[in-house]
């Protein structure tokens, strides 16, 4: 479990050079679905905004009528691209055609597009491509190659069309291939094409599309969602951040609120701190962060997204060096997220440790340490005791959100892996701050010093630790949960041993209580992994989790 699944081996794939350098990109989901914005026939439709046609089973002839009303007069390609640029993003990827089949570009293959079917009549893909080229961002497109709910032969629409009579190859031939050709020939160089939800596509068809892209533009990347293992890099599940370093080239596509396409009533915006944390967490595990905005039918990026991206940009201006072109952490376990460049470790201090930062296991000599937020980059005192390096810090925080400490070292990182250690009294303390998180929504909140936003039952946390004095231990979970959400069930697993537990009511999300959930026996000294995994939520979130403690009850 500590080993996250391996992806494609890193290869010397030169077309990826810019993408590995970029690390941070803007995703844009924009289309006719921005008009209903999550409401159909007066009813709020659950799920993602861009899925409304599917979720409400809207007939093609009804949904198509949205085109006649789509007139995003406030659309300003330069404004969108400037926002991305100022946020520190290096590429921009927009839905040139989503599952609803509506294209944002003029197309000879189908008139169901922004130029030919709307009063607006402009080509948003062209305007954005030009704006990106003006402002130095790589321009990229999303293209739904398998699902198309408008085309009679596309995948997904079974309420208008008879699945049995669909000829998927005809859809590829008559719409997808011509449109992909248009995208790759009419808009200058594309950074990448983001295919999605391969569904019923065959391996031959995935290969054919990938080859077509590379034939037309050898440097254009293809996302793994083209299907069947093709593509240049791997896209994780939506919002999915792995628990540990993943080798190979990968990205996490993610949302700022919960939807991709605009929904008028989705106000669940992530905080600036959370967004920066996710960016750093992803880079520290070897990936890219493709962060979405969902503009309105008027053509505006929602203000809450704008404000957050601007604040992220402020942080990036000071600390971008720790993100662009940076590689993953060399530490299996360290209290701080760490990103790297040759000769440099960047430690990300989301909370400010009093007086000092300790780096256990660092064998390199440290030539200099300083904070990126310090305009003078004054050298901080560094001391060493064996393989424990300590950097002295000012008492008060320098910088905000995440203060980046640069530790310059002599050559490639050489580290002894330190797992969490059993205390002298035999107890093992596993704090949330040190937990590895494999999650779509759960995050570590430095203010609460707890894992929170645990809304997804597949999200789990785990810790690696070392035990020198074996025995039987009481497992104590320090958690918070208001009564309305209590009673969710989860499993604490340690090797083969599993404890089933139920979330206790503690009064609020911020009142923490230590709850004993049973005992485990560690028969011998060694390294262990303990995980906490939800089984069933009783409300919106499982619980806020501050720590798990193993308290010795007897020695073996």
Number of residue whose CB is nearest ligand JFZ: 237
CB of 482 to ligand JFZ, least distance (A): 30
- Using CB under 6 A as the binding rule, whether residue 253 contacts ligand JFZ is answered as yes
Cβ closest to ligand JFZ, residue 237 vs residue 342: 237
Query: Could you tell me if 462 and 416 are in contact, meaning their C-beta atoms sit under 8 angstroms apart?
Result: no
Cβ closest to ligand JFZ, residue 252 vs residue 390: 252
Structure-token pair, residue 28 = 């844009």
| Single residue of 127, 182, 196, 445 touching ligand JFZ by CB under 6 A | 196
| Single residue of 211, 238, 298, 484 touching ligand JFZ by CB under 6 A | 238
Residues 43-72, one symbol each (x = binds ligand JFZ by CB under 6 A, - = not), give -----x-xx---------------------
| Distance of alpha carbon 53 from alpha carbon 36, whole angstroms | 10
Q: Which residues of 469-505 are buried (b: 16+ CB within 10 A; e: fewer)?
A: ebbbbebbbbbbbbeebbebebebbbeeeebebebbb
Structure-token pair, residue 202 = 């065959």
Cβ closest to ligand JFZ, residue 195 vs residue 346: 195
- Using CB under 6 A as the binding rule, whether residue 36 contacts ligand JFZ is answered as no
Residues 388-427, one symbol each (x = binds ligand JFZ by CB under 6 A, - = not), give ----------------------------------------
| Distance of alpha carbon 459 from alpha carbon 439, whole angstroms | 4
Query: Could you tell me if 512 and 503 are in contact, meaning their C-beta atoms sit under 8 angstroms apart?
Result: no
| Distance of alpha carbon 288 from alpha carbon 538, whole angstroms | 33
Pairing of strands 250-254, 366-371: unpaired
CB of 192 to ligand JFZ, least distance (A): 14
Query: Could you tell me if 475 and 491 are in contact, meaning their C-beta atoms sit under 8 angstroms apart?
Result: no
CB of 197 to ligand JFZ, least distance (A): 5
> With contacts defined by CB under 6 A, how many residues of the chain interact with ligand JFZ?
9
CB of 237 to ligand JFZ, least distance (A): 3
CB of 265 to ligand JFZ, least distance (A): 18
Structure-token pair, residue 196 = 């999605």
Strands of the sheet with 356-360, listed across from one edge: 356-360, 388-392, 382-385
CB of 468 to ligand JFZ, least distance (A): 40
**Eight-state DSSP code of residue 173:** I
CB of 232 to ligand JFZ, least distance (A): 17
Structure-token pair, residue 515 = 């709850």
CB of 205 to ligand JFZ, least distance (A): 18
CB of 351 to ligand JFZ, least distance (A): 31
| Distance of alpha carbon 297 from alpha carbon 78, whole angstroms | 17
Cβ closest to ligand JFZ, residue 21 vs residue 238: 238
| Single residue of 59, 189, 237, 394 touching ligand JFZ by CB under 6 A | 237
Query: Could you tell me if 298 and 292 are in contact, meaning their C-beta atoms sit under 8 angstroms apart?
Result: no
**What's the burial of 121, exposed, middle or buried (CB within 10 Å: 0-12/13-18/19+)?**
exposed
**Eight-state DSSP code of residue 109:** S
- Residues 6+ away with beta carbon under 8 Å from 363: 387, 414, 415, 416
| Distance of alpha carbon 146 from alpha carbon 303, whole angstroms | 33
Structure-token pair, residue 452 = 């929170």
Map tokens 């861009």 to a residue: 50
| Single residue of 260, 444, 460, 512 touching ligand JFZ by CB under 6 A | 260
Cβ closest to ligand JFZ, residue 238 vs residue 410: 238
Cβ closest to ligand JFZ, residue 92 vs residue 338: 92
| Distance of alpha carbon 128 from alpha carbon 154, whole angstroms | 27
CB of 18 to ligand JFZ, least distance (A): 22
Cβ closest to ligand JFZ, residue 146 vs residue 435: 146
Cβ closest to ligand JFZ, residue 399 vs residue 457: 457
Cβ closest to ligand JFZ, residue 48 vs residue 371: 48
- Using CB under 6 A as the binding rule, whether residue 296 contacts ligand JFZ is answered as no
| Distance of alpha carbon 225 from alpha carbon 5, whole angstroms | 17
Structure-token pair, residue 450 = 């707890």
| Single residue of 4, 13, 197, 417 touching ligand JFZ by CB under 6 A | 197
CB of 43 to ligand JFZ, least distance (A): 20
Q: Give the interface with ligand JFZ as residue ranges (CB under 6 A).
A: 48, 50-51, 196-197, 237-238, 253, 260
């Amino acid at each position: 479990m500590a080993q996250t699944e391996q992806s494609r081996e890193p290869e010397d794939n030169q077309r990826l050079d810019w993408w590995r350098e970029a690390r941070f990109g803007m995703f844009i989901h924009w289309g006719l679905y921005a008009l209903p914005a999550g409401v159909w026939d007066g009813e709020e439709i659950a799920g993602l905004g861009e899925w409304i046609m599917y979720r409400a089973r809207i007939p093609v002839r009804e949904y198509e009528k949205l085109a006649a009303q789509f007139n995003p007069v406030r659309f300003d390609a330069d404004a969108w691209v400037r926002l991305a640029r100022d946020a520190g993003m290096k590429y921009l990827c927009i839905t040139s055609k989503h599952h609803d089949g509506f294209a944002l570009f003029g197309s000879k293959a189908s008139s169901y597009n922004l130029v030919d079917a709307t009063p607006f009549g402009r080509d948003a893909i062209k305007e954005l491509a030009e704006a990106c080229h003006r402002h130095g961002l790589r321009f990229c497109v999303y293209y739904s190659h398998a699902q198309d709910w408008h085309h009679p032969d596309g995948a997904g629409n079974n309420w208008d069309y008879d699945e049995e009579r669909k000829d998927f190859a005809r859809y590829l031939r008559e719409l997808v291939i011509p449109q992909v050709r248009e995208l790759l020939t009419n808009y200058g160089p594309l950074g990448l094409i983001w295919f999605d939800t391969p569904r019923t596509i065959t391996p031959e068809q995935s290969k054919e599309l990938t080859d077509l892209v590379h034939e037309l533009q050898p440097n254009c990347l293809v996302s793994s969602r083209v299907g069947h293992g093709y593509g240049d890099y791997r896209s994780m599940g939506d919002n999915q951040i792995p628990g540990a370093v993943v080798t190979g080239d990968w990205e996490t596509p993610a949302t700022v609120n919960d939807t991709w396409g605009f929904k008028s009533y989705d106000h669940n915006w992530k905080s600036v701190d959370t967004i920066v944390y996710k960016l750093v967490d992803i880079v520290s595990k070897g990936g890219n962060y493709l962060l979405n905005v969902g503009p309105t039918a008027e053509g505006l990026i929602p203000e809450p997204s704008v404000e957050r991206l601007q604040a992220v940009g402020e942080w990036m201006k000071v600390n971008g060096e720790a993100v662009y072109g940076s590689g993953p952490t060399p530490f299996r376990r360290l209290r701080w997220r760490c990103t790297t460049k040759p000769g440099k470790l960047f430690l990300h201090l989301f909370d400010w440790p009093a007086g000092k930062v300790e780096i256990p296991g660092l064998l390199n000599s440290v030539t200099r340490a300083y904070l990126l937020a310090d305009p003078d980059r004054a050298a901080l005192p560094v001391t060493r005791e064996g393989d424990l390096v300590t950097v002295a810090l000012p008492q008060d925080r320098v910088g905000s959100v995440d203060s980046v400490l640069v530790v310059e070292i002599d050559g490639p990182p050489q580290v002894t892996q330190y797992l969490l250690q059993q205390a002298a009294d035999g107890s093992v303390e596993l704090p949330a701050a040190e937990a590895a998180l494999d999650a779509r929504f759960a995050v570590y909140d430095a203010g609460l010093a707890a894992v929170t936003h645990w809304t997804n039952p597949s999200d789990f946390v785990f810790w690696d630790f070392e035990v020198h004095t074996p025995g039987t231990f009481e497992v104590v979970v320090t958690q918070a949960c208001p009564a309305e959400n209590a009673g969710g069930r989860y499993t604490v697993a340690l090797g083969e041993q599993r404890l089933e537990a139920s979330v206790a009511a503690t009064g609020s999300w911020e009142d923490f209580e230590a709850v004993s959930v049973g005992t485990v026996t560690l028969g011998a000294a060694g390294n262990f992994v303990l995980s906490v995994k939800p089984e069933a939520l009783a409300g919106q979130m499982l619980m806020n989790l501050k720590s798990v403690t193993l308290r010795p009850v007897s020695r073996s």
